[in-house]
Structure 1
Amino acid sequence: MSISFSSFGLWLALNLAAIDHWDSAVVVFLKLLVIAVLVALNGFFVACEFAIVKVRSSQLDTLTEEGNLRASFARYIRAHLDAYLSATQLGVTLASLALGYLGEQYLAEMLQPLFALAGIHSHAVVTSISIALAFVGITFLHIGFGELAPKYVAIGNPLPVALALERPLGAFYFLFRPASWLLH
Structure 2
Amino acid sequence: MVLYLLLALACVAANAFFVAAEFALAKVRPSALEALAQGGDADARRAYEITKHLDAYLSATQLGITLASLGLGWLGEPALAGLIEDGLELVGLAALGSAGEPPGWIHGIAATVGFSIISILHIVVGELVPKSLAIMRPEDISRWSSRPLKLFYTVSFPALWVLNGSSNLVLRMLRLPAMQHAAAFFIF
CA distance in 1, matches of 2:103, 2:64: 36
Q: Which amino acid aligns with 1:171?
A: L
CA contact (8 A) 1:83 1:181 kept: no
Unaligned runs of 5+ in 1: 1-26
- Within the candidate set 137, 146, 156, 1:176 is matched to 156
Q: 1:26-74: CA deviations, max 9, x gaps?
A: x53x333222111000000000000111111110111122222211110
How many residues are matched?
157
Give the TM-score, by structure 2 length. 0.80
- Which residues of 2 match residues 19-98 of structure 1 at below 5 A? 27-28=1-2, 30-98=3-71
1:111-163 Cα distance to aligned partner (Å, 9 max, x none): 11111123212331111111101110100000000000000001000001111
More helix, by proportion: 1
Decide which of 123, 142, 163 is 2:143's aligned counterpart: 163
Corresponding position of 1:110: 83
Report runs of 4+ in structure 1 exceeding 6 Å deviation: none
% same residue: 46
**CA distance in 1 between partners of 2:143 and 2:46 (Å):** 8
Q: Is the radius of gyration larger for structure 1 or structure 2?
A: 2
Q: Which runs of 5+ in 2 are unaligned?
A: 95-101, 165-188
Distance 1:172 1:130 in 2: 35
**138, 142, 163: which one pairs with 2:122?**
142
